[in-house]
Chains A and B, each alone.
Chain A
Protein backbone atom coordinates (compact mmCIF):
# COMPACT_ATOMS: atom_id res chain seq x y z
CA UNK A 1 0.00 0.00 0.00
CA UNK A 2 2.75 2.39 0.99
CA UNK A 3 4.62 1.51 -2.16
CA UNK A 4 1.51 2.12 -4.24
CA UNK A 5 1.04 5.55 -2.67
CA UNK A 6 4.69 6.34 -3.28
CA UNK A 7 4.45 5.41 -6.94
CA UNK A 8 1.25 7.42 -7.31
CA UNK A 9 2.86 10.38 -5.61
CA UNK A 10 5.93 10.27 -7.82
CA UNK A 11 3.79 10.05 -10.98
CA UNK A 12 1.64 12.99 -9.88
CA UNK A 13 4.57 15.10 -8.79
CA UNK A 14 6.45 14.63 -12.06
CA UNK A 15 3.30 15.60 -13.93
CA UNK A 16 2.86 18.72 -11.82
CA UNK A 17 6.50 19.52 -12.35
CA UNK A 18 6.15 19.06 -16.08
CA UNK A 19 3.04 21.24 -16.15
CA UNK A 20 4.90 24.00 -14.36
CA UNK A 21 8.07 23.81 -16.34
CA UNK A 22 7.19 23.48 -20.00
CA UNK A 23 7.54 26.66 -21.99
CA UNK A 24 8.60 27.49 -25.52
CA UNK A 25 10.79 30.31 -24.10
CA UNK A 26 10.16 32.33 -27.25
CA UNK A 27 12.80 34.91 -28.13
CA UNK A 28 11.68 37.35 -30.82
CA UNK A 29 14.34 38.38 -33.34
CA UNK A 30 13.85 41.79 -34.96
CA UNK A 31 14.60 41.36 -38.67
CA UNK A 32 13.28 44.69 -40.04
CA UNK A 33 11.34 47.69 -38.84
CA UNK A 34 8.31 46.50 -36.82
CA UNK A 35 9.02 42.94 -37.98
CA UNK A 36 9.84 40.00 -35.72
CA UNK A 37 10.52 36.29 -36.13
CA UNK A 38 10.46 33.34 -33.74
CA UNK A 39 12.83 30.68 -35.02
CA UNK A 40 11.72 27.07 -34.91
CA UNK A 41 14.04 24.20 -34.14
CA UNK A 42 15.55 22.46 -37.21
CA UNK A 43 14.61 19.06 -35.83
CA UNK A 44 11.71 16.61 -35.84
CA UNK A 45 8.88 17.50 -33.47
CA UNK A 46 9.73 16.13 -30.02
CA UNK A 47 9.00 16.66 -26.35
CA UNK A 48 11.97 19.06 -25.98
CA UNK A 49 10.90 21.52 -28.68
CA UNK A 50 7.16 21.03 -28.11
CA UNK A 51 6.60 20.96 -31.86
CA UNK A 52 8.07 24.44 -32.49
CA UNK A 53 9.88 23.53 -35.70
CA UNK A 54 8.40 26.15 -38.03
CA UNK A 55 9.26 29.84 -37.97
CA UNK A 56 6.49 32.23 -37.02
CA UNK A 57 6.50 36.01 -37.16
CA UNK A 58 4.57 39.23 -36.86
CA UNK A 59 4.46 42.85 -38.05
CA UNK A 60 3.51 45.49 -35.49
CA UNK A 61 2.05 48.24 -37.67
CA UNK A 62 0.98 51.63 -36.29
CA UNK A 63 -2.64 50.51 -36.50
CA UNK A 64 -2.59 46.86 -35.46
CA UNK A 65 -0.51 43.67 -35.58
CA UNK A 66 -0.43 41.02 -38.30
CA UNK A 67 0.65 37.50 -37.28
CA UNK A 68 2.08 34.98 -39.75
CA UNK A 69 1.52 31.37 -38.59
CA UNK A 70 0.61 30.33 -35.07
CA UNK A 71 2.83 27.34 -34.25
CA UNK A 72 2.00 23.83 -33.06
CA UNK A 73 -0.21 24.22 -29.95
CA UNK A 74 -2.46 26.45 -27.90
CA UNK A 75 0.36 26.96 -25.40
CA UNK A 76 2.57 28.18 -28.24
CA UNK A 77 -0.13 30.58 -29.41
CA UNK A 78 -0.51 31.93 -25.87
CA UNK A 79 3.21 32.48 -25.50
CA UNK A 80 3.33 34.14 -28.91
CA UNK A 81 0.55 36.48 -27.79
CA UNK A 82 2.61 37.44 -24.71
CA UNK A 83 5.66 38.15 -26.86
CA UNK A 84 3.56 40.40 -29.13
CA UNK A 85 2.02 42.28 -26.17
CA UNK A 86 5.49 43.00 -24.78
CA UNK A 87 6.39 44.70 -28.05
CA UNK A 88 3.16 46.43 -29.09
CA UNK A 89 0.03 47.52 -27.28
CA UNK A 90 -1.98 47.61 -30.53
CA UNK A 91 -4.64 44.95 -31.11
CA UNK A 92 -4.09 41.93 -33.35
CA UNK A 93 -6.18 42.42 -36.48
CA UNK A 94 -5.06 39.60 -38.76
CA UNK A 95 -3.65 36.13 -38.08
CA UNK A 96 -2.57 34.27 -41.21
CA UNK A 97 -2.01 30.54 -41.68
CA UNK A 98 0.44 29.92 -44.50
CA UNK A 99 -0.89 26.39 -45.18
CA UNK A 100 -2.55 23.38 -43.60
CA UNK A 101 0.40 21.66 -41.89
CA UNK A 102 0.00 21.32 -38.11
CA UNK A 103 3.27 23.04 -37.13
CA UNK A 104 1.85 26.22 -38.70
CA UNK A 105 -1.75 26.48 -37.51
CA UNK A 106 -2.56 24.51 -34.33
CA UNK A 107 -1.64 27.59 -32.26
CA UNK A 108 -4.81 29.20 -33.71
CA UNK A 109 -6.53 27.94 -30.55
CA UNK A 110 -5.07 30.90 -28.62
CA UNK A 111 -6.30 33.62 -31.00
CA UNK A 112 -9.55 35.46 -31.66
CA UNK A 113 -11.39 33.26 -34.15
CA UNK A 114 -12.55 36.11 -36.39
CA UNK A 115 -8.93 37.21 -36.97
CA UNK A 116 -7.82 33.80 -38.38
CA UNK A 117 -7.44 33.79 -42.16
CA UNK A 118 -6.04 31.48 -44.83
CA UNK A 119 -6.48 30.60 -48.49
CA UNK A 120 -9.83 28.96 -49.30
CA UNK A 121 -8.24 25.63 -50.15
CA UNK A 122 -6.27 25.67 -46.90
CA UNK A 123 -9.51 25.95 -44.93
CA UNK A 124 -10.80 22.85 -46.76
CA UNK A 125 -7.55 20.94 -46.15
CA UNK A 126 -7.67 21.79 -42.44
CA UNK A 127 -11.28 20.63 -42.34
CA UNK A 128 -10.27 17.33 -43.90
CA UNK A 129 -6.96 16.55 -42.19
CA UNK A 130 -6.84 18.87 -39.15
CA UNK A 131 -8.27 16.43 -36.63
CA UNK A 132 -5.89 13.67 -37.73
CA UNK A 133 -2.90 16.03 -37.39
CA UNK A 134 -4.08 17.21 -34.00
CA UNK A 135 -4.32 13.67 -32.66
CA UNK A 136 -0.88 12.79 -34.10
CA UNK A 137 0.56 15.83 -32.32
CA UNK A 138 -1.10 14.89 -29.04
CA UNK A 139 0.42 11.44 -29.36
CA UNK A 140 3.90 12.80 -30.10
CA UNK A 141 3.97 15.85 -27.81
CA UNK A 142 1.68 15.00 -24.90
CA UNK A 143 1.25 17.80 -22.38
CA UNK A 144 2.56 20.49 -24.76
CA UNK A 145 -0.73 20.05 -26.64
CA UNK A 146 -3.15 20.45 -23.73
CA UNK A 147 -6.37 22.31 -24.55
CA UNK A 148 -5.40 22.59 -28.21
CA UNK A 149 -8.75 22.57 -29.98
CA UNK A 150 -8.96 22.59 -33.74
CA UNK A 151 -9.62 26.26 -34.60
CA UNK A 152 -9.92 26.57 -38.36
CA UNK A 153 -9.33 29.87 -40.15
CA UNK A 154 -11.79 31.37 -42.63
CA UNK A 155 -11.03 32.33 -46.22
CA UNK A 156 -9.17 35.57 -46.74
CA UNK A 157 -10.69 37.96 -49.26
CA UNK A 158 -8.61 41.12 -48.93
CA UNK A 159 -5.32 40.47 -50.75
CA UNK A 160 -3.63 43.90 -51.06
CA UNK A 161 -3.92 46.65 -48.51
CA UNK A 162 -2.18 49.37 -46.57
CA UNK A 163 -2.07 48.85 -42.83
CA UNK A 164 -0.58 51.31 -40.34
CA UNK A 165 2.19 52.41 -42.70
CA UNK A 166 2.90 48.99 -44.27
CA UNK A 167 2.00 48.05 -47.87
CA UNK A 168 1.01 44.40 -47.62
CA UNK A 169 0.23 41.81 -50.32
CA UNK A 170 -1.08 38.33 -49.79
CA UNK A 171 -0.22 36.02 -52.67
CA UNK A 172 -1.48 32.49 -53.35
CA UNK A 173 0.86 29.69 -54.50
CA UNK A 174 0.62 25.90 -54.37
CA UNK A 175 4.04 24.25 -54.78
CA UNK A 176 4.57 22.98 -51.23
CA UNK A 177 1.13 21.87 -50.09
CA UNK A 178 -1.43 22.65 -52.79
CA UNK A 179 -2.32 25.99 -51.18
CA UNK A 180 0.53 28.16 -49.91
CA UNK A 181 -0.02 31.72 -48.80
CA UNK A 182 2.85 34.18 -48.69
CA UNK A 183 2.85 37.65 -47.14
CA UNK A 184 4.94 40.34 -48.78
CA UNK A 185 5.58 43.63 -47.01
CA UNK A 186 6.65 46.09 -49.74
CA UNK A 187 7.50 48.68 -47.12
CA UNK A 188 10.26 46.61 -45.47
CA UNK A 189 10.97 44.20 -48.33
CA UNK A 190 10.30 41.24 -46.04
CA UNK A 191 8.66 38.18 -47.56
CA UNK A 192 7.07 35.67 -45.20
CA UNK A 193 7.32 32.69 -47.53
CA UNK A 194 5.87 29.89 -45.41
CA UNK A 195 7.01 26.45 -46.50
CA UNK A 196 7.50 27.43 -50.12
CA UNK A 197 11.00 28.29 -48.93
CA UNK A 198 13.28 26.21 -46.72
CA UNK A 199 16.72 27.61 -45.98
CA UNK A 200 19.60 25.23 -45.14
CA UNK A 201 16.97 22.73 -44.09
CA UNK A 202 15.79 20.06 -46.51
CA UNK A 203 12.29 20.79 -47.88
CA UNK A 204 9.37 18.55 -46.95
CA UNK A 205 7.62 17.32 -50.11
CA UNK A 206 4.81 15.09 -48.81
CA UNK A 207 1.97 17.17 -50.26
CA UNK A 208 3.54 18.91 -53.21
CA UNK A 209 1.52 18.79 -56.43
CA UNK A 210 4.91 18.22 -58.10
CA UNK A 211 8.47 19.52 -57.89
CA UNK A 212 8.19 21.24 -61.29
CA UNK A 213 5.22 23.15 -59.90
CA UNK A 214 7.15 24.15 -56.79
CA UNK A 215 10.20 25.30 -58.78
CA UNK A 216 7.89 27.40 -60.92
CA UNK A 217 6.50 29.08 -57.78
CA UNK A 218 10.05 29.87 -56.65
CA UNK A 219 10.70 31.62 -59.96
CA UNK A 220 7.64 33.77 -59.34
CA UNK A 221 8.80 34.56 -55.80
CA UNK A 222 12.09 35.85 -57.22
CA UNK A 223 10.15 38.39 -59.30
CA UNK A 224 8.85 40.03 -56.12
CA UNK A 225 12.39 41.34 -55.51
CA UNK A 226 12.07 40.86 -51.78
CA UNK A 227 15.03 41.87 -49.65
CA UNK A 228 14.67 39.40 -46.83
CA UNK A 229 12.92 36.04 -46.65
CA UNK A 230 11.45 34.45 -43.58
CA UNK A 231 11.47 30.79 -44.67
CA UNK A 232 9.03 28.31 -43.16
CA UNK A 233 12.02 26.43 -41.77
CA UNK A 234 15.66 27.46 -41.37
CA UNK A 235 17.30 30.83 -40.67
CA UNK A 236 16.10 34.18 -42.03
CA UNK A 237 18.33 35.46 -44.81
CA UNK A 238 18.54 37.41 -48.07
CA UNK A 239 15.76 36.41 -50.43
CA UNK A 240 18.06 35.12 -53.16
CA UNK A 241 20.01 32.85 -50.79
CA UNK A 242 16.93 31.27 -49.30
CA UNK A 243 15.21 30.66 -52.64
CA UNK A 244 18.33 29.14 -54.12
CA UNK A 245 18.76 26.85 -51.08
CA UNK A 246 15.28 25.45 -51.76
CA UNK A 247 15.57 25.19 -55.53
CA UNK A 248 19.03 23.56 -55.39
CA UNK A 249 17.68 20.76 -53.22
CA UNK A 250 14.45 20.30 -55.18
CA UNK A 251 16.26 20.23 -58.53
CA UNK A 252 18.68 17.59 -57.24
CA UNK A 253 15.83 15.48 -55.80
CA UNK A 254 13.83 15.71 -59.04
CA UNK A 255 16.82 14.59 -61.12
CA UNK A 256 17.69 11.79 -58.70
CA UNK A 257 14.16 10.42 -58.85
CA UNK A 258 13.86 10.70 -62.62
CA UNK A 259 17.19 8.92 -63.20
CA UNK A 260 16.44 6.25 -60.59
CA UNK A 261 13.02 5.49 -62.06
CA UNK A 262 14.54 5.11 -65.53
CA UNK A 263 17.09 2.62 -64.16
CA UNK A 264 14.36 0.62 -62.42
CA UNK A 265 15.60 1.43 -58.91
CA UNK A 266 13.36 1.00 -55.88
CA UNK A 267 12.26 3.23 -52.99
CA UNK A 268 14.95 1.85 -50.67
CA UNK A 269 17.63 2.87 -53.19
CA UNK A 270 16.41 6.48 -52.90
CA UNK A 271 16.33 6.28 -49.10
CA UNK A 272 19.93 5.00 -49.07
CA UNK A 273 21.23 7.37 -51.75
CA UNK A 274 24.58 9.15 -51.26
CA UNK A 275 24.11 12.80 -50.37
CA UNK A 276 26.24 15.07 -52.56
CA UNK A 277 28.61 17.35 -50.64
CA UNK A 278 26.98 20.55 -51.91
CA UNK A 279 23.86 19.56 -49.96
CA UNK A 280 25.64 18.80 -46.68
CA UNK A 281 24.45 22.12 -45.22
CA UNK A 282 20.81 21.04 -45.57
CA UNK A 283 19.69 19.99 -42.11
CA UNK A 284 17.43 16.92 -41.77
CA UNK A 285 18.27 15.88 -45.32
CA UNK A 286 18.36 12.13 -44.59
CA UNK A 287 14.96 12.33 -42.91
CA UNK A 288 13.37 14.33 -45.72
CA UNK A 289 14.83 12.14 -48.49
CA UNK A 290 13.22 9.15 -46.82
CA UNK A 291 9.85 10.92 -46.66
CA UNK A 292 10.12 12.08 -50.26
CA UNK A 293 11.09 8.58 -51.40
CA UNK A 294 7.89 7.22 -49.86
CA UNK A 295 5.47 9.95 -50.97
CA UNK A 296 6.91 11.16 -54.21
CA UNK A 297 9.00 8.42 -55.83
CA UNK A 298 5.99 6.18 -56.69
CA UNK A 299 4.76 9.00 -58.98
CA UNK A 300 8.08 8.91 -60.85
CA UNK A 301 7.81 5.11 -61.08
CA UNK A 302 4.25 5.34 -62.41
CA UNK A 303 5.45 7.70 -65.15
CA UNK A 304 7.89 5.02 -66.38
CA UNK A 305 5.52 2.03 -66.25
CA UNK A 306 4.11 0.65 -69.47
Chain B
Protein backbone atom coordinates (compact mmCIF):
# COMPACT_ATOMS: atom_id res chain seq x y z
CA UNK B 1 0.00 0.00 0.00
CA UNK B 2 1.36 3.41 -0.89
CA UNK B 3 0.98 6.58 1.16
CA UNK B 4 -2.18 7.72 -0.61
CA UNK B 5 -3.90 4.40 0.01
CA UNK B 6 -2.96 4.50 3.68
CA UNK B 7 -4.40 8.00 3.84
CA UNK B 8 -7.55 6.78 2.11
CA UNK B 9 -8.02 3.91 4.58
CA UNK B 10 -7.32 6.14 7.59
CA UNK B 11 -9.66 8.81 6.29
CA UNK B 12 -12.32 6.21 5.52
CA UNK B 13 -12.17 4.77 9.03
CA UNK B 14 -12.32 8.25 10.57
CA UNK B 15 -15.39 9.13 8.50
CA UNK B 16 -17.05 5.84 9.56
CA UNK B 17 -16.33 6.63 13.22
CA UNK B 18 -17.74 10.14 12.82
CA UNK B 19 -20.88 8.74 11.20
CA UNK B 20 -21.58 6.24 14.00
CA UNK B 21 -20.91 8.71 16.81
CA UNK B 22 -23.25 11.15 15.09
CA UNK B 23 -25.89 8.52 14.39
CA UNK B 24 -25.88 7.11 17.92
CA UNK B 25 -27.00 10.53 19.10
CA UNK B 26 -29.05 11.85 16.20
CA UNK B 27 -30.32 8.89 14.19
CA UNK B 28 -34.09 8.75 13.91
CA UNK B 29 -35.60 6.18 16.30
CA UNK B 30 -38.59 5.78 13.95
CA UNK B 31 -39.10 2.42 12.23
CA UNK B 32 -37.67 2.19 8.72
CA UNK B 33 -39.84 1.84 5.63
CA UNK B 34 -40.08 -1.94 5.82
CA UNK B 35 -40.62 -2.08 9.61
CA UNK B 36 -43.33 0.56 9.32
CA UNK B 37 -45.04 -1.38 6.53
CA UNK B 38 -44.88 -4.54 8.66
CA UNK B 39 -46.46 -2.57 11.53
CA UNK B 40 -49.24 -1.41 9.20
CA UNK B 41 -50.05 -5.01 8.33
CA UNK B 42 -49.77 -6.23 11.93
CA UNK B 43 -46.71 -8.37 11.21
CA UNK B 44 -44.79 -8.80 14.44
CA UNK B 45 -41.08 -8.46 14.75
CA UNK B 46 -39.95 -11.92 15.73
CA UNK B 47 -37.01 -13.55 17.38
CA UNK B 48 -33.99 -14.04 15.14
CA UNK B 49 -32.95 -17.67 14.59
CA UNK B 50 -29.46 -17.04 15.95
CA UNK B 51 -28.51 -15.14 19.08
CA UNK B 52 -26.52 -12.11 18.02
CA UNK B 53 -23.98 -10.72 20.52
CA UNK B 54 -25.17 -7.12 20.02
CA UNK B 55 -28.85 -7.17 19.05
CA UNK B 56 -30.12 -3.79 17.81
CA UNK B 57 -26.61 -2.37 17.81
CA UNK B 58 -26.27 -2.13 21.56
CA UNK B 59 -24.31 -3.62 24.42
CA UNK B 60 -26.50 -4.43 27.38
CA UNK B 61 -26.29 -1.98 30.24
CA UNK B 62 -24.04 0.43 28.41
CA UNK B 63 -26.54 2.76 26.73
CA UNK B 64 -24.93 5.30 24.39
CA UNK B 65 -21.37 4.11 24.92
CA UNK B 66 -22.56 0.58 24.22
CA UNK B 67 -24.23 1.72 21.03
CA UNK B 68 -21.10 3.48 19.81
CA UNK B 69 -18.98 0.53 20.93
CA UNK B 70 -21.15 -1.98 19.08
CA UNK B 71 -21.06 0.10 15.90
CA UNK B 72 -17.29 0.56 16.13
CA UNK B 73 -16.88 -3.20 16.52
CA UNK B 74 -19.12 -3.62 13.49
CA UNK B 75 -17.02 -1.23 11.42
CA UNK B 76 -13.78 -2.98 12.34
CA UNK B 77 -15.22 -6.46 11.76
CA UNK B 78 -16.65 -5.42 8.38
CA UNK B 79 -13.38 -3.79 7.36
CA UNK B 80 -11.26 -6.74 8.47
CA UNK B 81 -13.53 -9.39 6.98
CA UNK B 82 -13.79 -7.57 3.64
CA UNK B 83 -10.05 -7.06 3.50
CA UNK B 84 -9.40 -10.74 4.14
CA UNK B 85 -12.01 -11.89 1.62
CA UNK B 86 -10.85 -9.37 -0.99
CA UNK B 87 -7.25 -10.61 -0.67
CA UNK B 88 -8.41 -14.22 -1.04
CA UNK B 89 -10.60 -13.64 -4.10
CA UNK B 90 -8.61 -10.97 -5.94
CA UNK B 91 -6.80 -11.38 -9.21
CA UNK B 92 -3.52 -13.16 -8.67
CA UNK B 93 -1.96 -12.82 -12.12
CA UNK B 94 -1.30 -9.76 -14.19
CA UNK B 95 -3.48 -9.75 -17.32
Are the chains A and B members of one assembly? no
Residues of A within 8 A of B (CB): none
Residues of B within 8 A of A (CB): none
